[in-house]
Chain A
């Protein structure tokens, strides 16, 4: 029983981590129909930025508590700098090209960013573990968890909720939904699609960076940390149904729980479980759990 509780808690923590990363990915896909391979690089950028900024802050003996704020600031900075740079500087010249071409553009971008990161931060690991242990720990199912883990859960819920609310209740959000539903019609209706693309991509990038920034204190920030998360995030988004918010949430939850169950009860299969889940979901729901509705052709 206690082990089962542990499965739930571990699963929940892992899910929120996944969701934070997948959220930006699914948002960008939903609006721009770009499956962004470089998403992982933005995650890494966020981690590096956070690690060096918080490191600087603490080394100068400032209040450790403020480091949480700095994590977020670092991520947002990455978002508002890298996002527009990439969207205006590269992607906007590619719109209208095939989805796969766009996928490859972002793949090229991913390769480039890998080295850019290396040129800026080198290959040595960065640590900022202080924020992780700062808040102390709590015992659940006679296991110790740092409170920080639950901050991650909180942020994930917050981010998801915020995006959902914006889409549902603000005018801009409704317009965005229109763009998601049908780009051509929205254009015809005079919606400034390119502005929405810019905003969406920036927000998506920032979300990836936040994911990275909040992960930084729990890991050693090293080259290549972005590679592994890409395909994970893809799996989550595809399971949920591309471009679907609740899909990403459900996908993250499923993957998170399945993985943590595997770790607790059957560690041998950890390697497959995510892809098996993805394959199974696609076999039974070919377009993911929350598939977009098909329009009648003739």
Chain B
């Protein structure tokens, strides 16, 4: 594992390609933007998965990030896209820091279930808040950047470009984090917590940090989604949403920070086609696709790409 990590260059390449191709596939821009938003959440999940932790409650931060954006533009009429994204990320990070003190003690299925319970409680709170439209949620006004309205426009490109750049930055930072000693602790903790403690590192604080990172990324993903969709509702915190993120994480694989975005994009495309061409049995199609991946690509779609790269 000597540090010959090409990931940042691949990411940069991907960014350039996406930005360049964007104008030529206007019909797919929205779908791609959504995938990137989802990919950000899943990226955080991957950090946890590498540590051997599965959160069934990332929807909580996804939703909180989105609601932070929505409320700010609704009640404080903040319109600056970057500001909104930042806010969404921060609010989620803060919440994750608080809950992290509790969750850092949990492992395995109990970690999963406690995260699920917490997100469902938030879901309940939002359903009860008719001021925020209960389950109907409310619309997010178009946001602007450099004095130019970028979301809620017929032309999706600006929003798409923003999502690309945000995703790129997040991916690169996360990647370099994963290479640091603290990042490397992930697999160590997954393999053997006792040894980690006996080497003189605190498993608890390491997990806490990772949880906050995952929360922040989920918040960012939620914020991007809120801007792109222009509407938010409590469904974002419902357990099925979180389940979908885990699904995409496994689909993509945890081998690289690129995997989550790959997984998200492919997932969105499968689902859209299933929706359009077998409206009565799209769940069947989705489930089957999922099984095939789990059976034939145990390490996720990424493993297939990794293999190709090794060949070439």
Chain A contact residues, CB within 8 Å of chain B: 35, 90, 93-94, 97, 99-101, 104-105, 107-112, 114-116, 118-119, 227, 231, 234-235, 238, 242, 268, 271-272, 275-276, 278-279, 282-283, 286-288, 297-298
Contacts and interface: CB of A to CB of B under 8 A. Distances in A.
Given A35-B109, A104-B246, A108-B287, 19 more contacts: A104-B247, A105-B291, A108-B288, A108-B291, A109-B287, A111-B283, A112-B287, A114-B284, A119-B281, A231-B120, A231-B239, A234-B116, A238-B109, A271-B127, A272-B124, A282-B106, A282-B114, A286-B110, A297-B194
A249 B145 CA distance: 56
The interface centre, meaning the residue of A97, A116, A234, A276 with most chain B CB atoms within 10 A of its CB, is: A234
Given A104-B250, A286-B105, A235 B283 contact: no
B290 interface: yes
B217 interface: no
B290 A238 contact: no
Contact of B117 (A93, A109, A275): A275
Contact of B250 (A100, A111, A283): A100
Given A104-B294, A282-B113, A286-B110, A271 B128 contact: yes
Given A231-B239, A271-B124, A275-B124, A110 B287 contact: yes
A116 B247 contact: no
B1 interface: no
B63 interface: no
A67 B108 CA distance: 44
Contact of A242 (B109, B120, B239, B298): B109
B117 A111 contact: no
A118 B280 CA distance: 9
A282 B117 contact: yes
A108 B117 contact: no
Contacts of A118: 280-281
B112 to A, nearest CB: 8
B292 to A, nearest CB: 9
Interface residues of B, number: 39
B266 to A, nearest CB: 15
B290 A107 contact: yes
Contacts of A111: 283-284, 286-287, 290
A268 B54 CA distance: 31
Interface in B93-136: 102, 105-106, 108-110, 112-114, 116-118, 120-121, 124-125, 127-128
- Which 5 pairs of residues, A with B, have the shortest CB-CB distance? A111-B287, A115-B284, A112-B287, A108-B290, A108-B287
Interface string B156-198: 0000000000000000000000000000000000000010000
A108 B106 CA distance: 26
B124 A101 contact: no
B142 interface: no
Given A100-B246, A104-B246, A234 B113 contact: yes
B117 A112 contact: no
B230 interface: no
Nearest to B288: A112
B127 A105 contact: no
The interface centre, meaning the residue of B117, B282, B284 with most chain A CB atoms within 10 A of its CB, is: B117
